[in-house]
Amino acid sequence: MLIDAAGLWFRSYYALPESLTAPDGTPVNSVRGFCDMLAKLITERRPTRLVACLDNDWRPQFRVDALPTYKTHRVAEEDPDAEDVPDTLSPQIPVILDVLDALGIATAEAEGYEADDVIGVLAERERTDPVEVVTGDRDLFQLVRPEPAPVRVIYVGGGLAKAQNYGPAELAERYALDPSRAGDAYAEMAVLRGDPSDGLPGVAGIGEKTAAKLITEFGSLAALLSAAEAGDKRLTPRVRGKLADSAEYLAAAPSVVRVVRDAPVVLDRPDPLPRSAADPDRLAELDRTWNLGGPLERLTAAF
């Protein structure tokens, strides 16, 4: 199981009230929610290996160089290199990392890369165990595959209670894509459609359904663009014009949308899920300091 850690702690932060606090009054809603989500995932999915994947760089320069609008709306006003994170969430992130460390759960990151890339590398490397990617980011649908080790995405965009389980067949059915290349086709569809949450404008006038139809009909984004340039009659003049107008964007966007499969990922420890906490004394101290209570008890019980 590969966890998009930041996605889970952001989701926990917005799902629970800030009235959940430590004895000193510091909000711990994200920490408590993160522990509960992880407990539920371990209890229900029963992974034997688990990695919490981290952003070393939330807005990598290579993506900004390719597409300057990438995540610009998330940049903090006071620091152009920092992500705009709520003031009461920032202090909770080190606590979550301390809890993971005391529990003995592996974390992974790669210098200069996002968690998406870390997940992409670890999924790509795996040749033995089936992989489940837990995320609220649809971009990671591109990772699904049937072999050599199956990769599926547990999509929690609507919350853990409404989690959706996608493999190649489910993804192909959901978006009317070619099942034989569902992951790649999704990434190419996403380039055409765009994604306002990441600052990707997409091709004006081409929405999700049209994007999926075009990728499926022509077989790939490269084939679609070649057909448009050649004046293929299967494309209306309107669509050919829109693709031509977006030529600069279409040349840059694939390198932004596609996760990197060869980033220098480093794990802080082996990834088997431990049977019990690695440092129970430290975990107890974290519990006392931050009032983690029931969520932490449920997480340790899930082990």
Q: Does residue 239 register a pLDDT over 90? A: yes
Q: What's the chain's length in residues?
A: 303
Q: Are 145 and 165 in contact (CB under 8 A)?
A: no
DSSP H or E run through 154: strand 151-155
What is the pLDDT at residue 99? 98
Between the two ends of the chain, the Cα-to-Cα distance in Å is: 14
Cα maximum dimension of the chain: 70
- Sheet strands (E) in 36-101: 51-53, 75-76, 79-83
**CA neighbor of 193 nearest in space, from 248, 278, 257:** 257
Architecture of domain 2-273: 3-Layer(aba) Sandwich (3.40)
Spatial neighbors of 50 by CB under 8 A, at least 6 apart, are 1, 3, 42, 105, 106, 271, 273
Peptide bond preceding 94: is omega within 30 degrees of 0, i.e. cis? no
pLDDT tens profile 255-267: 999 999 999 999 9
Residue 197: pLDDT over 90: no
Of the candidates 8, 13, 15, 6, which has an alpha carbon nearest to the alpha carbon of residue 28?
A: 13
Contact criterion met (CB below 8 Å) for 137 and 284: no
What is the C-alpha to C-alpha distance for residues 80 and 286, in angstroms, rounded to an integer? 33
What local confidence, expressed as pLDDT, does residue 169 receive?
A: 97
- Extents of the domains making up the chain: 2-273
Element (H, E) at 166: strand 164-166
Per-residue pLDDT reduced to its tens digit, 75-132: 877 666 667 788 899 999 999 999 999 999 999 999 999 999 999 999 999 999 999 9
Contact call for residues 34 and 154 (beta carbons, < 8 A): no
Question: Is 192 a residue whose pLDDT tops 90?
Answer: yes
Among 60-74, 100-114, 287-301, name the one with the lowest average pLDDT. Answer: 60-74
- AA identity, residue 187: A
**Residue 74 has what pLDDT?**
80
Among the listed ranges 70-79, 208-217, 280-289, which one has the minimum average pLDDT value?
70-79
Asked if residues 214 and 177 have their Cβ atoms less than 8 Å apart, the reply is no
User: What percent of the chain has pLDDT above 70?
Assistant: 98
- In this structure, what DSSP letter does residue 198 have? G
Give which of 106, 142, 105 is closest to 124, Cα–Cα.
142
> Would you say the pTM of this structure is higher than 0.75?
yes
